[in-house]
Copies of this chain bind each other. A is one copy, B any other.
């Protein structure tokens, strides 16, 4: 009974670009529940843009920290499925992460300071390559490792399987495409990393990089100061709920109003 209670509380989260029109997500859940019947599954998002590993990395990074540290986060945005890219599982003090080794976990892991953003070398986290057939659905398909490799690995981990049983250690992971902010001659150079459901354009500039009275250049405009509510003005800069500078518009999509897209530059200086 005690062990049931404990198991029931453990959480597996899912982040994919599978959409909700097909059975793909449900199939992963069926596989997980067949192995770990009492686990709790929480959807993070299945509407990541197809094959957008950078967007997935941002969304997962904004979610995982609100879950208990024994949670297991499965992320499957996987343009290289069926090629040589490695399936991996990573354990850090803040969660366990399961998915393809294509940079999808780099925002999480560099944010936790357990992965070097340049080399991908791990320090303070343990990773393995998922190559133990015992813990896979066989034969493994060429097109759906979410079902055949990642869902069973997560479910076995949730049941208490030690990470090391899943395959050999990996010391270094792919870092992905995300570029960190640059500080140069009193200015901070960042990038839009995500446009959310409301059209808010979220940058990679965390609150500690933004001066108290900033002057922000974005999409050919200059915005002065930080707003304290989405109602403050027609177009605003605001520190969003994940602690990142975002550009928003009152009752409208800032991304549409300004023509902003992921990858666009944002420059912040201090007002003199």
Contact = CB atoms under 8 A, between A and B. Distances in A.
A101 to B, nearest CB: 16
A80 B82 CA distance: 43
Contacts of A22: 45, 59, 62, 194, 196-197
A82 B229 contact: yes
Interface string A213-252: 0000000000000001111000000111100000000010
A81 B8 CA distance: 34
A113 interface: no
Contact of A80 (B26, B194, B231): B231
Of A27, A34, A241, most B-chain CB atoms within 10 Å: A241
Q: How large is the interface on A (under 10, 10 to 19, 20 to 34, 35 or more residues)?
A: 35 or more
Interface string A1-13: 1001100110101
A68 interface: yes
A47 interface: yes
B33 A238 contact: no
Contacts of A63: 23, 26-27, 30
A196 to B, nearest CB: 5
A19 interface: yes
A225 B155 CA distance: 36
A143 B27 contact: no
A45 B68 contact: no
Given A46-B20, A141-B241, A143-B241, A66 B228 contact: no
Given A18-B197, A51-B251, A13 B26 contact: yes
B197 A66 contact: no
Interface of A: 1, 4-5, 8-9, 11, 13, 18-27, 29-31, 33-34, 37-38, 40, 42-48, 50-51, 59-60, 62-63, 66-68, 71, 79-83, 141-144, 147, 194, 196-198, 228-231, 238-241, 251
12 contacts: A8-B8, A8-B38, A11-B33, A20-B45, A21-B197, A22-B197, A24-B196, A33-B68, A34-B68, A142-B229, A143-B229, A147-B241
